[in-house]
């Protein structure tokens, strides 16, 4: 049972990893900001991933490194690293139970 829970945690972690990567890549496309299919996909990705990315973005804006309008948004990259660390450590902890 614990193996299945750990595997589900890893699966959801990988899913959100892919969604955040897709959102970051689509943010470079100008057509993703407009309507149409790409706009709908980007809107979906933004709604799903924003609850995870926005707290990191707020922390970066308060820090001396990120405050004041950076040209590059590092929040998705830091979110990916944090989510990967949490997912792998949580799954490993559950497997040892």
What residues contact 56, with CB distance under 8 A and at least 6 apart? 75, 78, 79, 82
CB 38 within 8 A of CB 32: yes
Whole-number pLDDT of residue 72: 79
pTM of the model: 0.84
63: containing domain: 2-95
CB 10 within 8 A of CB 95: no
Q: Which long-range contacts (CB under 8 A, 24 or more apart) does 38-45 make?
A: 45/19
Whole-number pLDDT of residue 80: 96
**Count of domains forming the chain:** 1
Consecutive 10-residue averages of pLDDT for the chain (97 residues): 92 96 88 78 93 92 70 88 96 92
| pLDDT tens sequence across 51-67 | 999 999 888 888 776 66
Whole-number pLDDT of residue 44: 93
Q: Which pair of tokens denotes residue 58?
A: 């707020």
**Tokens 């970051």 found at:** 24
């Amino acid at each position: 049972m614990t193996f299945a829970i750990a595997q589900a945690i890893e699966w959801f972690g990988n899913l959100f990893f892919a969604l955040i990567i897709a959102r970051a890549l689509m943010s470079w496309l100008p057509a993703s900001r407009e309507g149409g299919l790409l706009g709908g996909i980007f809107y979906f990705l933004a709604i799903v991933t924003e609850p995870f990315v926005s707290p990191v973005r707020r922390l970066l804006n308060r820090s001396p490194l990120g405050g004041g309008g950076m040209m590059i948004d590092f929040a998705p990259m830091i979110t990916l690293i944090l989510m990967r660390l949490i997912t792998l450590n949580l799954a490993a902890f559950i497997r040892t139970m």
